[in-house]
Amino acid sequence: MIKILKYGEVANSDIFARVTPTVNVEAIVADIIANVRENGDKALYEYCEKFDKVKLDALAVTPEEIEAAFAEVPADFLRILRTAAENIRRYHEKQKRNSFILNEQDGIVMGQKVIPVDRAGLYVPGGTAAYPSTVLMDAIPAKIAGVPQVVMVSPPGRDGKIPAVILAAAKIAGVDQIFKLGGAQAIAALAYGTESVPKVDKIVGPGNAFVAEAKKQVFGTVSIDMIAGPSEILVLADSTANPKHVAADLLSQAEHDKLASAVLVTDSDALAASVQAEIERQLPLLEREEIARASIDNNGKIIVAPDLQSGIEITNEIAPEHLELCVDHPFDYLDKIRHAGSIFMGKHCPEALGDYLAGPNHTLPTSGTAKFSSPLSVDDFVKKTQYTYFTREALSRVAEDVAYFARKEGLTAHARSATVRFEEEK
């Protein structure tokens, strides 16, 4: 049963405790990465056989396989995928940045170029569930950014295939290449390249502990989006919220993973008790009851605050991945929320909208990192290059100042590089 904690009556360490996965996979992942770097495709085939229990003839998904998968997906679901893709495109198009130029002073031009990375790698999880939504959320911003080549990896099933819905989503999103790869070995292949898999510049997408550790270890060779932890939801609700709805929303994240955390923060004792009872009523209705039960019992909590303002302060300290404002006038509170990955406004905006259809991205900062990081966006797939142009006359106006500054730092060669161009005039 989910526990109820009274803020101010229990230790803050209980209120703000986080899920801390104890599995240590650092050495295992390091060995996998080293093997892939040394042996390339040979290592990938061996890991597919070992971990995915399938012997592949080829790593790459063929155009024929994609077309066959597309034909296999029900028409109604293809319609929903296209609707979701259009909503995601519409939202992310607004994130595009433009290059700029400054030429307000005589003889001086400065600017910034916004340039997409050459190649982006998308990791799409497999295993207990297939997530076509992740394909759309990760691939569409990359294509909007102008990335020339988007490479996707996803683990095959024992039939040697990637689920048809994943391949259909990839086609709709415009993915350029797809490989049957999962786990740390897939991250290593994207980071270093093999005979079949091209090396990428950035890797994005969620995964298990092995994938997260692999992304951590290859960072620096490539860029990554984030080190994602277990999924989180925090519902901030007052006494007017419907306990049935709140319980359903908490369980929507609890069913993801036994390590997921579902938190309610409220100023109402009555709502806290009702939601606790409602969760117990709804749990047996879930197909993933065992997973959700473990999440709720081990990581779930209801925090009763003295007032809603205190609830907002608690929310900002937790900095949740997903935040629902289950109140009548949510825009009254929006400016007070400083730390959250994605905010769902009002009583009719369940977090599941953001997972699938609304448009904002669902690849979000977890484990409190919303205090300093952002959702996946078009910005993740571009880099900025700056440039500067000075005429001789413009340089002459500032050369002595540059030299003076440089000498203050003890860098006389820097100083001379600014003044040497005018020595013949003296």
Tens digit of each residue's pLDDT (9 = 90 or more) over 336-361 = 999 999 999 999 999 999 999 999 99
**pTM score of the predicted model:** 0.93
108-116/382-390 β-pairing: antiparallel
Crossing angle between the packed helical segments 75-93 and 132-145, to the nearest 10 degrees: 40
> Phi and psi at residue 389, in whole multiples of 5°?
-135, 125
Burial class of residue 186, CB neighbours in 10 A (0-12, 13-18, 19+): buried
What pLDDT sits at residue 23? 74
Secondary structure element (H or E) that encloses residue 57, with its range: none
pLDDT at 242: 98
Structure tokens at 271: 């709502």
Tens-digit pLDDT profile for the chain (426 aa)? 999 999 999 999 889 998 877 678 999 999 999 999 999 999 999 999 999 999 999 999 999 999 999 999 999 999 999 999 999 999 999 999 999 999 999 999 999 999 999 999 999 998 657 899 999 999 999 999 999 999 999 999 999 999 999 999 999 999 999 999 999 999 999 999 999 999 999 999 999 889 999 999 999 999 999 988 889 999 999 999 999 999 999 999 999 989 999 999 999 999 999 999 999 999 999 999 999 999 999 999 999 999 999 999 999 999 999 999 999 999 999 999 999 999 999 999 999 999 999 999 999 999 999 999 999 999 999 999 999 999 999 999 999 999 999 999 999 999 999 999 998 765
92: Cα within 13 Å, side-chain hemisphere: 30
Set 92, 245, 256, 322: catalytic member: 322
Amino acid identity of 256? H
Task: Enter the tokens of residue 69.
Answer: 């998968």
pLDDT, mean over the chain: 96
> Is 160 in a helix, a strand, or coil?
coil
For the question of residue 321 being annotated catalytic, the response is yes
How is residue 66 written in tokens?
């994609």
pLDDT digits (tens, 9 = 90+) for 377-418: 999 999 999 999 999 999 999 999 999 999 999 999 999 999
The residue annotated as part of the active site, out of 65, 321, 324, 351, is: 321
Dist CA 192 CA 195 (whole Å): 10
Burial class (CB in 10 A: 0-12, 13-18, 19+), 383: middle
Which pLDDT does position 128 carry in this prediction? Answer: 59
| Closest to 113 measured CA to CA, from 388, 391, 394, 395 | 388
In tens, the pLDDT along 190-240 reads 999 999 999 999 999 999 889 999 999 999 999 999 988 889 999 999 999
